[in-house]
Amino acid sequence: MSNYDIERIKGLLGTHQNFPQEGIVFKDMFPVFQDPTAVEALICNIVHHINSTYKEKIDAVVGLDARGFLFGPLIALRLGAAFVPVRKHGKLPGECVQATYKKEYGEDVFEIQKAALKEGQNVVVIDDLIATGGSAAAAGELVKKCGANTIEYVFVMELDFLNGSKTLDAPVYSLIHL
């Protein structure tokens, strides 16, 4: 992706001090969706990165509740892969596996439907942002519990000062470093 596109996306991001808690600087990616050409550039970059880096067929894109759902299905469609949601507890019907995690502000429980991934499948985990890495690590744990392999963790934004990517058990690709 060109520096021009990166700077354009950075310029669209919202920044909110002390949200949702005192001391947190919240990066809001929803304003990026005001500019469809910026979204197109972002999705193309991620799909090109995955296609040019990995020989393995990607079977599924696993998106994290809720903002990972904005990017996951678009990327899955272009990769010819399934889209599988990881949701906060109590939202998914059927047999689920669970993982408890801590994130930059608070803690929660993630779930995935057991039947959504098959043993040995190759997965890319996608979210809008990595802060501490707690959410992504919990998603990786769920992928493992289903017997699938996380090939890569992909984020639109990474908050470098929190070193979240160092906690993950597979390569990390972040489009924008803040």
Ligand X SMILES: O=P(O)(O)OC[C@H]1O[C@H](OP(=O)(O)OP(=O)(O)O)[C@H](O)[C@@H]1O
Catalytic residue among 56, 87, 104, 141: 104
89 sits near ligand X (criterion: CB under 6 A): no
Active site residue 67: yes
Q: How far is CA 88 from CA 66, 128, 177, in A?
A: 9, 16, 26
Integer-rounded Cα radius of gyration of the chain: 16
Told to check if 127 binds ligand ADE by CB under 6 A, we report no
Q: Tell me: does residue 66 bind ligand X (CB under 6 A).
A: yes
127 binds, among ligand X, ligand ADE, none (CB under 5 to 8 A by kind): ligand X
Q: Which of 131, 139, 154, 156 binds ligand ADE (CB under 6 A)?
A: 131
* Nearest CB to ligand ADE, comparing residues 84 and 129: 129
Please, which residue, 85 or 164, has the CB nearer to ligand ADE?
164
Per the CB < 8 A criterion, the answer to whether 65 and 44 are in contact is no
Q: Give long-range contacts, CB 8 A cutoff, 24+ apart: 79-85.
A: 79/47, 79/50, 79/51, 79/124, 81/124, 82/116, 84/60, 84/112, 84/113, 84/116, 84/117, 84/123, 85/112, 85/116
Q: Which of 104, 111, 152, 158 binds ligand ADE (CB under 6 A)?
A: 104
Residue identified by tokens 């959410």 is 135
Residue 114 corresponds to which tokens in the numbers above? 């057991």
Partner that binds at residue 24, options ligand X, ligand ADE, none, CB closer than 5 to 8 Å by kind: ligand ADE
Which one is catalytic: 22, 40, 67, 119? 67
CA 8 vs. chain centroid, Å, equals 21
> Within positions 118 to 137, which residues make up the interface with ligand X, using CB under 6 A?
127-135
Residue 124 and residue 50 in contact, taking contact as beta carbons nearer than 8 Å: yes
For the annotated catalytic residues, the residue numbers are 67, 104
Residues that bind ligand X (CB under 6 A): 64-67, 103-104, 127-135, 164
